[in-house]
Each structure stands twice: as structure tokens, then as C-alpha cells.
A and B are shown apart, each in its own frame.
Chain A
Amino acid sequence: MTDITAPPVREPLLQRINWVDIGPFVALVILAVAGVLINPDFLSATNITNVVTRSAFIAIIAVGATFVISSGGLDLSVGSMTAFVTGIMIMFMNSLVPSMGANAIIAGMALVLCVGALAGLFNGLIVTVGKIEPFIVTLGTMGIFRALITFMSDGGNIPLDRSLREPFRPVYYGNFIGFPIPILVSIVVALIGAFILYKTKFGRRCAAVGANEDVARFSGISVGRVRTLAFVIQGICVAIAAICYVPRLGAATPTTGQLWELQVITAVVIGGTALRGGKGRIWGTVAGAVILEMIANLMVLSNFISEYLVAAVQGVIIIIAMLVQRFSKQP
């Protein structure tokens, strides 16, 4: 584990590199090297594919969170929202099976994107129109979405109709030109996210609003509109993650997406986006999501960590990763 603390950060040549930008990727490489040393099976194609595929949900949602956080907001409701939209999607598809057969999947995907966008809009409007701290608003909606999925499932689970399981399964388990679909989906989401954040007026406004709200307002930016849109993007990302999630276990339960909000926020921050807003880093976020899943994987693959201490070791690794980034920024 000590390998992580020793990247060669003091060489003068390396000072010209922007460490915040590449920091997450360096951490990823160091973790991978540590992984091979701990257990050679770590680098097996199956294991790496599994780990990266599993990180797709968090990565996709975290791309949305990068928008929210860089615009100075915070969304604690994403985990519950995932469970809620997943539940809606499954119930809707099940009800369409008699009339539409497997086409219900397409309809379900369309619906979940709308529901996700609306849920995000709901969060965004309460934050901006109601002028309430996003932390409190989304803490509230976190409870609301969680209670709704519990209500919808009577505390049990909402299973996907059996006839839909086989046609839908490839969306999680399938491959396209050798890559699992969820990985491709997260890459596409990140590409679009990066384009919007870096290349469009809206993206630059997001960063401006997060960096300094007053300055942004004086320069004619509609702060409320930008922030609300960031929440809508977050909602759409949650819906996309839900589309990849449903075919995996084919059910929504009250424990679906539990504590994902914390993983998402951690991924965003490990990726180099400041929690107080300002610049967002989409690719760093994606790396952050993979790092988190990789740490969890290594905990299981290693033989020397007590099952009781896994969470503590994970916490230590995350803090070390952040410290490395923090100190490597200084000349």
C-alpha cells in the first residue's frame, strides 16, 4: 500500500505537467501496479473487464455530478434517484409487455430518460427558484426517492418481467467490438459531457457560476438557469446509468443505489474537481470512478486485509490519493 505515497513528483522536469489533470490517471496506474504485486490475477482480462464494467454506473452518474459540482451545487439524491427511476422503468416495461413484447425495452428507455430529466429538474428548480442550499434540497429528495421506491416495492423487490430479461441482458453483459456495452456507454457519456463542459457556452458558464456566482451574475449569466440545467443533466445521467443497471440483476429494490451518492462525490473529487465549484474535470471523474471500484476489488483479491478492516483501508487509500494530488500541485 505504501507504493502509492511514492510517485516521483519532485523532479523538475515533471513540474511542467499539470498534476491535477493527470493525477487521477497516475493514481490509477500506481493502483494497477500495486494490484499486480498483490495478486497476479488482478490483471487478467476477465478481472479488469469486470472491474471497469462495474464502475460504469458510478462513472456515468459522476459525469453528471461533475456538472452539478462545478456549477457550485451538490446532489445527494443520485443514489435514491437511481433506485426510483429504475423502479419506474421496470414497472412501465412490465406493463407494456402484453402489448409490445420486447419493444417495451425501447419505450422503457425513452421513459426513464424523461423521468430522470424531470427528477433532476425538480431538484434544480427547488434549489434555484426556492433559493435553498442544494445540500438540504437533495437531502430531502434523497429521502423522498428512497421512500417512493420502498413504497412501490412494498419493501420487497420489483422484478423485471421474465420475457424481457433475455432481450435486455446484453445491455449489461454484452460486448461490441470486444468492449462491454456499459464501458462503451460511459465513454460516450464522458465524451459528450467533456464536449458540453469544455466546448460550449453552457459549459464555460457552469464553471463561471461555480467559481464566483456574483461575478457570473454581473457578466450577464442567468445563474439560476445554468444551475438548474446542471441538475437536469445529472438526472439524465442517472437515467442512463439506470438503463445499464436494470439488465444486470433485473430488479429494483429499496437497497438499489444505496450510498452511491457518496461514491459519486468521491469519484468527482478524486478526479480533481473542487467540491466548492469552479473547474470540472470529466475524464478525471471517470478515472476516479474506476479507482474506487479497483480499490474495492483489490481488497477482496488481497489476502492480508481482515474483512473487518476493509472499509478503513479503502478510506486510507482515498485520503492518500487526495494528499498526493494536493501536494504535487505545489512547485
Chain B
Amino acid sequence: MLKRNLLAAVALSSVLVAVPAFAQDKKVIAVSVPAATHGWTGGVVYHAQKAAEEIQAAFPNIEVVVKTSPSASAQVSALEDLTASGDLDALVILPFSSDELTGPVQSVADAGTFITVVDRGLTDPEIQDLYVAGDNIAVGSTTAKFLVDKLGGKGDVVVLRGIPTVIDDERIQGFQEGLEGSDINVLDIQYANWNSDEAFSLMQDYLAKYPHIDAVWANDDDMLLGVLEAIEQSGRTEIKYALGGNGMKEIIEKVMAGDPMTPIETPYPPSMIKTAIYMTAAQFNGQAPVRGTVKLDAPLITQENAEEYYFPDSPF
């Protein structure tokens, strides 16, 4: 694909040699993301491909190549392939793991390529020119503050956490910080591995264990789907809120519909890859320098602004 484009570029530039003033070569932006193995990465792939289409349509001088990899080692190979087949002007990468990708990205950077890192940081932040990420701590604290406010500063909540990772730790940390100073009591926190089936079982067990629960927070929307089914089956009515996080479209739909149990959502949007690709393109079109760190906030999504975070065609 890239090779063919290069050939086309060579052919084009040889035609344009006659008019040197217009002999501007095409800028190539490579995008390397994990393959779609669960909802969130499915969203990342969707938004990366959308961004590629839109940018190529808007800026004919920019070429965007999207490459998905199913594992960290496959991503390293993908980087080698991308750099071997030609000069990259920019690389937008959502690294599988920080440790394994730092070295390979460093060598791409050494060749003079503009590096944009998304979501997971590299172990050496010096490598990147631009860093775009969401705010996992805010995902937890925004939700916690909503609960403190709506429950009047007191109540009993249970929490479902994901897979033991930094992302999960930060969300839980943010949640606990958000509750500080209130009388909200966290009855229990257990892992459900970001899996709706495990969340369903865990919620059933919470319901068996605690006769009174005011609110539930699942730190990811996949788990929230299981939680909601378990609550519905139990017939328990004292639970006022069941909240998630991430911005899955099924949950955004609930927020848009004004669901009383899930009236809000906090985003950790896969569309951040799109934001990153657009910003990188800005670097190469119209000279809008974008070096730096961009932290996308996790604002409260309510019925009023839900539209902004709703992508009906995305798989997530």
C-alpha cells in the first residue's frame, strides 16, 4: 500500500519536475494502533480510520497510513515495516506497552520523524514531540464528585474494577480522592477484569452480601452492562445510581434518553486517537506547531452534551 503510494508519489513528482514551484512532496503520517480485540481498541481503530479518510480528503498533500497490530512484538515489526518502506514524516502511535515500544519508537525518532504518542506513555518522554492522552484519574474523580453531590455526601457504594494495570489503579485512585471528605462508604472493591460476564456475577454477589447499596460504580462500561442486568434481575429498588466510564455508545444512549439510574457518563474516549492524528496533521499543513502535551479531560457527560460523545457508527 505504502509502496504503491510511494510509486505514485515518485511518478507524480517526476511529472511535477517541470514546474518546480509546485513540486511539493506528499507528507506521510503513519498511525500504529493495537488491533481491535475489545470494545475500546475497536473504537480506536474506527476513529483512526475515520481520521485518515477525513484528513486525506481535506489535505491532499498529506497521506495517512493506518496499521493495526495484535501484540506488542507485532507492533515492533510493524514499525520496522513502516520505516523500511520509506521516509515517514510523522508517526502517531498508541503503544501496546510502554517498555517494549520505547526502543523501537526511539529509532524511528532518530531518523527525524515527528513522534506523537497517544494514551500509554513511553518510558522516556523525551522521545515524543506530542503526547495526547485521556485522564484516568479524572474518570474516577468526576464520577465520585457526582455521587457525593447526588447522594448528599453520604451513602454506601460498591465498586467493580478492571484488570490490574496503571489505568485501573488511576481510576480507583481518582475515585477515592473524589470521595475524600464525604461520608460515602465504599463497601467493597473487587476485580471483574473489564468483562461483562464477570461483572454480572460479581454484582450478584455484592447484592447477596450487602442488603443496602446506594450506588454502584463499574470503572468501565463493558462491566456496567453486566451490573445493570444483575440489578434488574434482583428486583432491588434501593440502588439509585449505577455508573460506568469510557463512553461506550450503548451507555451514552442511556444518558441521552435520561435514564434515571445511569444519568451521566465520564469519557475516556477512543476518539483521542483522532484528536492526535488531526493535531499531527496540523504540524504538516499550514504550519501550526503542536509540540507538547495534551491531556483530554474527563468532563461529566450529561443529557445536554451527550451528543458530542456519541458515535453511532463506531463499534464502541
Q: Which residues of A contact B (CB under 8 A)?
A: 39, 41-42, 44, 46-47, 50, 54, 150, 153-157, 159, 173, 248-249, 251, 253-256, 258, 293, 296-297, 300-301, 307-308, 310
Contacts and interface: CB of A to CB of B under 8 A. Distances in A.
Closest 8 CB pairs of A and B: A155-B36, A155-B42, A156-B315, A154-B315, A300-B205, A47-B208, A156-B42, A50-B204
Say whether chain B's binding surface is mostly helix, strand, loop, or mixed.
helix
A180 to B, nearest CB: 10
Given A46-B234, A307-B161, 14 more contacts: A42-B208, A54-B204, A150-B37, A154-B315, A155-B36, A156-B43, A156-B316, A248-B200, A255-B194, A256-B197, A297-B205, A300-B206, A308-B164, A310-B190
B196 A301 contact: no
Contact of A253 (B39, B45, B233): B39
A185 B270 CA distance: 40
Contacts of A258: 195
Interface in B179-208: 188-191, 194-197, 200-202, 204-208
A54 B225 contact: no
Given A253-B222, A301-B205, A154 B195 contact: no
A254 B38 contact: yes
A159 B45 contact: no
27 contacts: A42-B208, A46-B207, A47-B205, A50-B208, A54-B201, A150-B35, A154-B42, A155-B37, A155-B315, A156-B39, A156-B42, A157-B39, A173-B233, A249-B196, A249-B197, A249-B229, A251-B196, A253-B38, A253-B39, A255-B195, A297-B208, A300-B188, A300-B209, A301-B205, A307-B189, A307-B191, A310-B190
A255 B190 contact: no
A301 B208 contact: yes
Contacts of B206: 300
Interface of B: 35-39, 41-43, 45-46, 161, 164, 188-191, 194-197, 200-202, 204-209, 222, 225-226, 229, 233-234, 250, 314-316
Contacts of A248: 197, 200, 229
B164 to A, nearest CB: 8
B207 to A, nearest CB: 8
B223 to A, nearest CB: 11
A101 to B, nearest CB: 23
A44 B207 CA distance: 12
A307 B191 CA distance: 7
Contact of A251 (B42, B161, B202, B225): B225
Contacts of B205: 47, 50, 297, 300-301
A297 B206 CA distance: 9
A41 B209 CA distance: 7
Residue of B42, B190, B194, B200 ringed by the most chain A CB atoms within 10 A: B42
Contacts of B209: 39, 41, 300-301
B37 to A, nearest CB: 6
A258 B197 CA distance: 10
Contacts of B43: 155-156
